[in-house]
Chain A
Amino acid sequence: MLYTNKIKSRQPAVTCVVAGMEARLLDIGLDADQTSEICLVVAEALNNVVEHAYRYAEDGDIEIFVSLDGLSLTIEINDFGPEFQLPSAPDSPRVEAQDLESLPEGGFGWNLILALTDEVSLTRKKSRNYLKISKKIMLPASRI
C-alpha cells in the first residue's frame, strides 16, 4: 500500500491527504508533473465525496487507499454517505469569454478526473460508495 488514511468529511482534512500523497509520490521518484496530476485527482475525488455524498456534513468517514502495482496506480475512496451518482457523460461547462456573468464557477472536477486518469468506477455495496480510479504512471528506470 502506497498511502492510506481515514478522514472526516472536512475540507482541511482533504488538504492534509493531498499534502501527504504529494510527499509519498515524490518519495517513490514520481516527477513533479505526474505528482501534481495525481494530487489534483485525489483532491477532486475527495471534494466530490464531501459535497455530493455527505453534502458538507463534517462528521462523515472517508477511507483512502492508494496502491501501486507495477506502473498502475489505483486510488480507492470509500464513504458511508447516501448513494450519489457520477455524471453519466463528460459535461464540460461552457466557456464563453464574452459572457462574464454566465461563466461557470464549478462543475470542473469530474472532467478533470476523467481527463487525467485511465479508468473510473463508482459502485454501491453494503451502504457504502466505492470510488475506484486507475492511472498508469511513468517512473524513472532506477526506481522501478
Chain B
Amino acid sequence: MEGKKWRLGVPRALFYYYYGSWWKAFFEDLGLEVLVSPPTSKEILDMGVSLAVVEACLPVKVYYGHAAWLSERVDALFVPRLVSVERKSFICPKLMGLPDMLRTALKPCPKIIDSTINLSRNPQKGLETAVRSVARTLGFSGSKVLKAKEKAEKCYKAWLAKQREDKLTAGTTENPINIGIVGHGYLLYDRYLGMDIPHKVQKLGSRVYLPENLTDDEVEEACRVLPKRLYWTLGQKTMGAVLNFMERDDIDGIIHLTAFGCGPDSMVGELAERYARRCGKPFLLLNLDEHTGEAGLNTRLEAFVDMLTRRCSA
C-alpha cells in the first residue's frame, strides 16, 4: 500500500503516556497522518465502560473508549501487542491480548496494527523486529524506516529527560511538606482518569515527587532488597519508587495511586504498604474506579496532607 496516505489513530491511554512521543515522531517521519484521541473525558470513559467486560481494570476500559472514539475517524488503529519492553519482564496479560480484545468489542472495527513488541529475550533485536513489522504493515521498508526509528528515539530521549526534570516541587506555602506519589503513568498523567492527583496535592501546599523523577538506576538500586525480581515493568517502577521514597528522610509520606482490578498492583501495593508500615512512613492507598467521587477523594487527600503537616511540625 505504498504511497497511500494513512490516517493512523493512536489512543491516548495506557502506554501512550510512556511511548507516545516515540510513536508520534516515528509515524510522522514516515509521512503518515497521526490522529491522537483527545484527553479522556466523561464521554470517552462512558463509551469504554459500556464496551469492555465489567471485570477489566479502569485503564483498559478507558483505552476501549479512546479506540472507539477513533474507530470512525481513521483508516487504522495502532494497538501494539506489548508483551515486554525490557529484558525478562512483562507488562501485563491484558496488554498482551489488547488487540484481540478490541477486535471483539469494536463493531465495525477498523484495521488494527497489532505488531508484537517483545524485548524480553534480546531488547535490541526485539525492537528492530517490532519496528520493521509495524513498518511493513504500513507498506514501508528499508533505510526510510531506520531513519524514522532514529529520529523517534531522539525525540523519545529528549521527552524522557524533560519529564525527569519536570518536578512539581514549587511549594506554595512557607514550610511545604514533601510527598512522593507513585502509580502507573497512565493514572498519574491522565488528568481525568487519575483525577489530577499530583497537581491537587501540590495545590494543598506540598512538594510532589513522582516515579518519573527517578533514574532507572535509582529504581533498580532500590529494588535490590526485594526477595524476588519483580517481573512486571511497571510494578518494578512503582516498587522501586516506593522503596526509594521510603529510605529518604526528605520525603514525609507516600501516596500510591492504583486502579481497581489492576492485577500487578494488588501484589505490589500490598508489599509496598507492608514495607512502608514496617519503617513507619505514612502511606495512603488510593484505589480508583469508575464510581470514585471527586469530593470523597479530595477529603482523603486533605486529611492525609493535614496529618503529615501536623506530624512534621510537632
| Chain A complexes with chain B | no
Using a CB–CB cutoff of 8 Å, the interface residues on chain A facing chain B are: none
Using a CB–CB cutoff of 8 Å, the interface residues on chain B facing chain A are: none
